[in-house]
Amino acid sequence: MIAIKRYIMNKPSALGIIIALITCFAAISCTKTETTETQHSSAINDLSTHPLYSTYDFGAKDNIIDLGSQPLGVPIGVISELMNRDNILKESLSTLGLKLRSHPFFKGGDINYFLKNGKLDIALAGDMPMIAAAATGKVIVLSLAKQQFSSLIARDSIPVNELKGKKIGNAFGSSAHYSLLLALASADMTEKDVTLVKMKVSEMPDALANGNIDAFVAWEPTPTIALTKYKDFNVIHRSINTSYLYVTKDFAERHPRAAQLIAAAQIRAMRWMDESEENLLKASELQLKTSQKFSGYPPVLKTATNAALIKNGLSAITAAPFIPEEYYKENGRLHREFIFIENLGKLPEESTWENAHRSFDRNILIQIMKDPAGFRINEYDYNLI
């Protein structure tokens, strides 16, 4: 759908390297460090009283649809931004007596917490949080929303094994966390060999510059922000990650038409950005403003640079964001990732691959593509003010 020459290095063998690392490291028996376990416990127990999240007005009524978004991630941040501004979606949901309400989060693991506790109905999040949710059998994964890189950044161009004993900034339970596990595995290391420092992705570049950490791992646009702001920073490891749109089964069963309309809104947003450079730049500008408001940090990237990142993240997705079936077949990309993170003890106890596999539903997108006029995926009406 979206064609662009990737501005970042994309080696043809990258996926093969990742597969080899997963296969190798899945057999390693490892235990989490006390630091990691403490962070995990804190991440789970404190979110209900989180200084920001505790202020959110989650819909207490059946007519409110609550969406968990990530304004600090591209392209999923811009997709949710356009959904919030989509007058066609608003009108279509209104005919069902429904209204969309979006809540910004720092990472997918946080979204899953509120999804599990019935506060959210819909999520836009990365592969690791998506798998963690799907493996419980309580969500339906509708579509692919990104294919891009997460990057491990350090001040100097060093091999990964030189991070042994060092402090690494990490967003626990995120797709970047998974990328960090892969990076450590490539150097025959585990989380026991480093100190993980839990922090927001928006804080990572300055924390590295100030010497509070020795490296960090993050999804875009944070790596590009860091490399733009600090010229001495270096990418020392990259791995592919993906993001997804998923809904709770309870929501899909209560509001099947609304689930279709939400997926149609994603398609519409992607097509609108692909229609012209002007549209893409406008979407990028809006997302940067929302990102600044959420993080409190002024934009580092120019609108055009951010737009290139958005294009890059969507370039592998065709005219309809179907999840490739080979991703979730046995020994497919997501199956291998499930095995990898399960072996590390980072999934809920009730998790099974059978649950995850059943969570992928192509039928909703198929129905939308069979009726493009009915779902208005080629019509656009956004509130751009």
pLDDT tens-place string over residues 158-181: 999 999 999 999 999 899 999 999
Tell me the C-alpha distance between 194 and 46, whole Å: 24
- Residue 339 sits at φ, ψ, to 5 deg, of -60, -45
**pTM recorded for the entire structure:** 0.86
Task: Count each helix (H run) and each strand (E run) in the chain, helices first.
Answer: 18, 8
**pLDDT (tens digit per residue) in 264-313:** 999 999 999 999 999 999 999 999 999 999 999 999 999 999 999 999 99
Q: Which domains does the chain have, with CATH numbers?
A: 14-375 (3.40.190.10)
Please report which confidence band the pLDDT of residue 62 belongs to, taking 50, 70 and 90 as the band edges. Answer: confident
